[in-house]
Structure 1
């Protein structure tokens, strides 16, 4: 069954998020096409913004199965120490397998970045497709500011107000996404924003049920509170097909936003 709620906006349930992403570990990378492209764009934007940047001590928030981790180690071979943080403790093994000989550089912190003590200061704090799940983004920005060196960088991507809007319109479920302007206001309290960008990604699926399967396979069905009945699934599928069908099937929209910033 799939999860659903009729009240907006949702406050993310961290335990549910941990469980859903843990369940999606085996299917995540096959389905996470947008997340992979977003990770690539984040690293490209970082390189375009600060030429010649060579971080030695890096923190990644929400490493999942290591998509961004692997790309970052390839992009910055001079990294001496790489701290990875994720709600899902079991992600440590697939990430370490993925990065091979770089594993000696890794410290893995299992838990919620909002409450975990951080053991170090960093040249770079990275996060891709994660920070929309946090409860208190201003508070997290304060925390990360304390753990960044003055010339360090905070580079991240998350999702904006149009993200998965098809699901919101049909099922009445979704996170309290910020607009790009709201995000810049929050981050700008503690950081000088060096680069900002937003894009749209449209994916096409053969049926509305395939959309739901995609969300489950990437852990994104973490926002619901209760399981749908068969009738609710059928009703969702009929209305989604009617509202969002096109020549390529039915669409699903992602709304990535990117920021590169430096501590004030």
Structure 2
């Protein structure tokens, strides 16, 4: 586990836990599962990302996390010592992976994201290697890629918004050639627990109850089993912990919004009363604040 504090303070939200999954595929016959309970509002998530893209300056200011994870993912791909002629990036956001990939690694990158706004945010900027783009979601049964058609699939901080994660992993595995590679990083574990607990305590104090304000996270201990159930072989799951200090809890929430990473739970409350917000900010500082007055996230 790697823990480090990034400064200066006003950079970006860095979720506490990142899961990186390195896999190779094997042929098995399994059917994608249908989620018995929808947790996330995918249309609302798309709108959040569209809003983030509408303010490209603020959006780019919080790119550092996805850029760093993309760099690490590409380093992992290079460790395999082979080329991947056709590579798909799921949840490509603004093409962070493509910035670190050149033709010695792949001939073609297919970038997919729910939001066309965020996907084309930087379309006029130069990038290495050819690419095509699609906005097809990848957590439903309408898999846009034929079986055995992809050499590699990479997901950079997007799978934590998928309703049917087991089904999505099965679709990914089926799309890969027999010796294909899946590499993913997702937010999980106790990420944002400081924000979660502060909001819960503030709501209990001011409103006499709690509502879901921070998304549920996948436990990294469950990922190996999920990958095996999806038919992957030679799986590796590891965890990185990144901590960033902020001036206040309000800055944490502002960066979440700028990243398109705000709450998208279906049963969310539509707004947070101001007095509850101020109480949560004070609780965050009291319970989790640093000696210099900053707060970690």
Shared fold (TM-score greater than 0.5)?
A: yes
TM-score, length basis structure 2:
0.74
Equivalent in the alignment of 2:88: 59
1:191 aligns with 2:218: no
How far apart are residue 32 of structure 1 and its match?
A: 3.1
Which runs of structure 2 are paired with 1:146-185 in the superposition (5 Å)? 146-172=174-200, 173-185=213-225
Equivalent in the alignment of 2:269: 225
Describe the SS at the equivalent of 2:280: helix
Which runs of structure 2 are paired with 1:89-108 in the superposition (5 Å)? 89-100=116-127, 102=129, 105-108=130-133
Equivalent in the alignment of 2:151: 123
Q: Deviations over 1:43-101 (max 9, x none)?
A: 223333x2x12100011100111112222x23x53522221110001234334323447
Q: Distance in 2 between matches of 1:177 and 1:10?
A: 14
Equivalent in the alignment of 1:235: 279
Equivalent in the alignment of 1:3: none
Structure number having the greater strand percentage:
1
Q: Answer whether contact 1:206 1:248 (CA < 8 A) is retained.
A: no
Deviation larger for 20-29 or 152-161: 20-29
Equivalent in the alignment of 2:44: 16
Q: 1:199 to 1:96 in 2, by over 3 A?
A: same
Q: 2:290 aligns with which of 246, 251, 255?
A: 246
Structure number having the greater helix percentage:
1
TM-score, length basis structure 1:
0.82
Equivalent in the alignment of 2:138: 113
Q: Distance in 2 between matches of 1:67 and 1:101?
A: 11
1:34 aligns with 2:62: no
Q: 1:101 to 1:191 in 2, by over 3 A?
A: closer
Describe the SS at the equivalent of 1:215: helix
Tell me, which stretches of 5 or more residues in structure 1 are unaligned? 1-8, 254-264
Describe the SS at the equivalent of 1:113: coil
Q: Deviations over 1:93-141 (max 9, x none)?
A: 3343234474xx3322113212343244110000011101101111111
Q: Answer whether contact 2:98 2:128 (CA < 8 A) is retained.
A: no
Q: Deviations over 1:210-247 (max 9, x none)?
A: 11211111112133531112212211111111111103
Q: Answer whether contact 1:31 1:218 (CA < 8 A) is retained.
A: yes
Q: Answer whether contact 2:289 2:296 (CA < 8 A) is retained.
A: no
Q: 1:225 to 1:35 in 2, by over 3 A?
A: farther
Q: How many residues were matched structurally?
A: 239
Which runs of structure 2 are paired with 1:61-80 in the superposition (5 Å)? 61-71=90-100, 73-74=101-102, 76-80=103-107
Describe the SS at the equivalent of 1:203: strand
